[in-house]
Amino acid sequence: MEGIEGDYLEDIIQIQKIIDKSENFVFFTGAGISRESGIPTFRDKDGLWKKYDPAKLASHSAFISNPELVWDFFYSRQRLVCQAECNDAHTAIGRFENTRPENSHVITQNIDRLHQRGGSQNVIELHGNIFGMVCLACGKRKQYDYFDFFNNFSEEKIPTCPGCDNILKPDVVLFEEPLPQDAWIQAIRLSSECDIMFVIGTSLNVSPANTLPYHAVKNHAVLVEINPNVTEMTSLMDFSIRASASKILTKILCVA
């Protein structure tokens, strides 16, 4: 094993031994895991919120006051995600989950659905997903797929509800909106029961999602951070690996 994986060879071996003795696994992921798929992160030095004001493009009040502007932003994001491919980190997690379908779960802050494209089925989406639609007037929801999303919607037109003709909203959690309670309750339960939590590509700056590692700690779970950058919770981790998730996870999880 050469390169950066070799630098962490001892950690990899120790983590693999812990995996062999563990039963319940959580992969807690943020925007960094999708960066290698060409999806920009939000809070890095080149992140989206360095270029755009989230209060104007991704907040509930912005959607109500200027839905055209918000939809311009989300249509561009949807087009980008449609053209992206899941990377080796997504597929490594998906293959690992398939060997332990009852005991391995992904809790993600991402809205791109790349985990599902990588083979994961046990995915809790804390912030919704970009290919879902919800009507704030009548509550109707519908899920679409990335491969035919733009067969159903045109970037030239704001989507409207077929039931009540009001403007549809992307079924994502905007600023000023709460997390979906069912997903949040499930995330807390899984974090509180896991034996090992992989914390991958998240800055751990967003509340309340950043409290999930503490629930894992209360269960004496092992925390493995995979992130090129130091985070606010690095000191909490049992292992911190400064490497590409797509390169290191294939080694740790022993999947090709």
Residue 99, number of CB atoms within 10 A of its CB: 11
Assess whether 165 and 247 both reside in one domain.
Answer: no
Assess whether 254 and 144 both reside in one domain.
Answer: no
Distance, in Å, from the CA atom of 180 to the CA atom of 196, rounded to the nearest integer, reads: 24
Assess whether 203 and 254 both reside in one domain.
Answer: yes
Known binder of ligand: residue 194? no
- 172 half-sphere exposure, CB direction, 13 A CA radius: 21
Assess whether 114 and 238 both reside in one domain.
Answer: yes
Assess whether 159 and 221 both reside in one domain.
Answer: no
Q: For the residues 111-138, what does the mean pLDDT come to? A: 97
Provide the number of structural domains found in the chain.
2
Condensed to tens digits (0 to 9), the pLDDT of residues 194-220 reads 999 999 999 998 899 999 999 999 999
Q: For the residues 149-160, what does the mean pLDDT come to? A: 94
- The pTM of this model reads 0.93
Assess whether 183 and 240 both reside in one domain.
Answer: yes
Annotated catalytic sites, by residue?
A: 127
Which residue range is the domain that position 231 belongs to? 1-38+86-127+179-256
Condensed to tens digits (0 to 9), the pLDDT of residues 17-28 reads 999 999 999 999
Distance, in Å, from the CA atom of 167 to the CA atom of 183, rounded to the nearest integer, reads: 25
Q: Hey, what are 101's tokens?
A: 């379908």
Known binder of ligand: residue 135? yes
Distance, in Å, from the CA atom of 13 to the CA atom of 181, rounded to the nearest integer, reads: 37
Distance, in Å, from the CA atom of 71 to the CA atom of 169, rounded to the nearest integer, reads: 8
**The CATH number of the domain where 194 resides is what?**
3.40.50.1220
Assess whether 34 and 44 both reside in one domain.
Answer: no
Q: What is the pLDDT of residue 58?
A: 82
